Amino acid sequence: MSVLSKPYFHDETAAVAKLEEIIWPEGPTCPHCGAVDRIYDLKGNSTRIGLKKCGHCRKQFTVKVGTVFESSHVPLHKWFQAAYLLCSSKKGISAHQLHRVLEVTYKTAWFMAHRLREAMTLMPILAENIAKETTVNTDEAGQYVHLGRHFNGHGVVRHGIGEYGRGETHTNTIEGYFSIFKRGMKGVYQHCAKKHLHRYVAEFNFRYNERDASDGERSAIALAGIVGKRLMYRDSSGA
């Protein structure tokens, strides 16, 4: 029997049940209000598979809401096939190959691959780089739903309904900073080895934190930090 013979690779009901098991290991959570109780399954011949209703906010949802699968017209079982192929291919798999194997258009296969890449490795990266005592602010993206379990707190702004700030909860600062960082890394430096990333980040951090200083003042502040620092060429060169 092949790994790909598992029901959730071929049957939509099994695929929805599998995703619920992954996303909601402790039971359903309403993506609209965060409630974990008074959530009901909706039944009926014309009802979407896995459709639920929250008894608190009265909104309907499926497990796909707030995830990379939301609003996708591709059957969920094909998403599972795509994820398996992408994760099990040692050198990766092209969008053309996904298009042929999944029998979807090339445009759909390309978008599916990028959506899946968006979902990869996020929580381990956050846990490694953010102190547990931190209160983390994010937008409403589905990959952030359970952040509150790992950190001191989790504030959410819902861009989808036009909300960009609520008291001290907002993502405006980080989005402004990251837009500068991304343009600099892609447009100026273009390539960065992992072992040097922290230095590039430090450079952008410094300029951003000292953005109210003049260019001359900023240069003087930077040079004041050179004492006791030394980097050998052999440690700074190479990929």
Q: Where are the alpha helices (DSSP H) in the chain?
A: 12-23, 76-88, 95-102, 106-119, 122-129, 172-184, 197-209, 215-223, 233-236
What CA–CA distance (Å, rounded) separates 56 from 30?
A: 9
Question: Of all residues in the chain, what percent carry a pLDDT higher than 90?
Answer: 40
What is the average pLDDT value for the chain, to the nearest integer?
Answer: 87
* pLDDT-based confidence at residue 229 (cuts at 50, 70, 90): low
Contact 61, 54 (CB under 8 A): yes
Sign of CA dihedral 147, 199, 171, 65: negative
* pLDDT-based confidence at residue 80 (cuts at 50, 70, 90): very high
Buried b (16+ CB within 10 A) or exposed e, 134-144: eebbbebbbbb
Q: What is the dihedral of CA 59, 68, 11, 38, to 10 degrees?
A: -30
**Using CB atoms within 10 A of its CB, is residue 55 exposed (0-12), middle (13-18) or buried (19+)?**
exposed
* Beta strands across the sheet bearing 39-41: 39-41, 52-54, 60-61
pLDDT digit string, tens, across residues 14-62: 999 999 999 998 999 998 888 999 999 999 888 999 999 999 999 999 9
Among 32, 29, 51, residue whose Cα is nearest residue 42: 51
What CA–CA distance (Å, rounded) separates 145 from 156?
A: 9
| Residues across the chain | 239
Contact 4, 84 (CB under 8 A): yes
Q: Report CA-CA distances (Å) from 156 to 25, 37, 129, 140.
A: 21, 20, 20, 6
- Across residues 171-176, what is the average pLDDT? 90
- Across residues 92-104, what is the average pLDDT? 93
Which pLDDT score, from 0 to 100, does residue 10 have?
Answer: 95
Which pLDDT score, from 0 to 100, does residue 159 have?
Answer: 84
φ, ψ dihedrals at 122, nearest 5°? -65, -50
Is the whole-model pTM more than 0.75?
no
* Higher per-residue confidence, 188 vs 234: 188
Which pLDDT score, from 0 to 100, does residue 235 have?
Answer: 62
What CA–CA distance (Å, rounded) separates 39 from 50?
A: 12
